[in-house]
Amino acid sequence: MRNPARLRGSRALALLLLAPAVLLCLLPITYALALELWFSVSSAAPGTDGGFVGLANFQFLAGLDSFWQMLFNSAAYLVSGTLLKLLFGLLMALALVRPFPGRRLLYAGLFLPFIFPVVLGTIAWYFLLTNVHGALDYLLQGAHLTQQPLDLKSRLPLLSVVAVNVWHGSALFGVLLLAGMRSVPADQLDAAVVDGAAPVRRFLHIVVPYLRPAAVLGCLLSVLGNFGDFATVELLTRGGPLGRSQIVSTFAFENALLSGALGLGAAVALVMVPVYLVALAVAFRLIRE
């Protein structure tokens, strides 16, 4: 198809063009990964490389109740967060799939939580949920629904974190599923979303198969995003109270930065790798289809 002599001459150019991406991305990430593996089997601390300690860091973690609690929290966070985002994203996509006046504006409004800086969104939720003159309590007390502050952040810390995550991330599922719905043949989509005899069954049989790639992609991004999330938990609850909302990254942050045990922190962060590898296998199957 193309001139082979020309292509051979272009190899040097190709490497040159790849250089920025390799130097700024693949190289530092590979180096960091190698360093992390070393940290996890060492007694490294800030300013020192420490010595080889074998699996002592992992054994120490396995003996900590707070470590297992953190793993349970992380699993609950990513599973419940992902399922709820899928549900709300699907509702958003269904409500927006057919044209109506003002659709574009609504679309932008519902997408706003996803693009709004997550730090600001979480700070806002902190003050909505706080037990000191919280904005949510103000509304509820104004409507005479409660007398006392709800204090959700302390009483249900994990649920509060999930709620903020769902607020932030549902729109991503919404836009992905909307893009997926565009691949459904128009007449079939119309038949499925118009009110009728058995709209739910028709939706399940006709539309859902077309939405599978979008849904799987959304779930992948959500699972990996939640597993690696830091800002939401750190700003809303700091992993507390008493570690009840601690997740992988806040736990690693506490060990590595606040306590200075880089080795322990690295071992905690590496907990994410098995989940990442499974997700990677799913992702490669998805893009091969």
Single out the residue of 120, 145, 159, 198 in contact with another protein (rule: CB under 8 A): 120
Instruction: Give the CA distances from residue 258 to residues 144, 191, 205, 240, in Å, rounded to whole numbers and listed in that order.
Output: 43, 58, 52, 15
Which span (54-62, 64-72, 117-125, 154-162) binds another protein, by CB under 8 A? 117-125
The residue whose two tokens read 């193309």 is 2
Cα–Cα distance measured from residue 161 to residue 84, given in angstroms and rounded to the nearest whole number: 13
184 near another protein, rule: CB under 8 A:
no
**Residue 136 one-letter amino acid:** L
Secondary structure E strands in the chain: none
3-class DSSP state for residue 52?
A: strand
Q: Closer to another protein by CB, 70 or 171: give it.
A: 171
Count helices and strands (H / E) in the chain. 17, 0
58 near another protein, rule: CB under 8 A:
no
Single out the residue of 84, 118, 158, 207 in contact with another protein (rule: CB under 8 A): 118
278 near another protein, rule: CB under 8 A:
no
20 near another protein, rule: CB under 8 A:
yes
Single out the residue of 5, 11, 63, 186 in contact with another protein (rule: CB under 8 A): 11
64 near another protein, rule: CB under 8 A:
no
Instruction: Give the CA distances from residue 248 to residues 35, 38, 66, 193, 229, in Å, rounded to whole numbers and listed in that order.
Output: 19, 19, 11, 41, 8
Single out the residue of 50, 75, 79, 107 in contact with another protein (rule: CB under 8 A): 107
Give, as ranges, the residues between 83 and 102 that touch another protein (CB under 8 A): 88, 91-92, 94-96, 98, 100
Give CA angle at 126 (134, 146), nearest 5°: 30
Q: In this structure, what is the dihedral angle of CA atoms 231, 226, 67, 282, given to the nearest 10 degrees?
A: -150
Which span (57-65, 69-77, 107-115, 143-151) binds another protein, by CB under 8 A? 107-115
157 near another protein, rule: CB under 8 A:
no
144 near another protein, rule: CB under 8 A:
no
Which span (54-62, 66-74, 124-132, 144-152) binds another protein, by CB under 8 A? 124-132
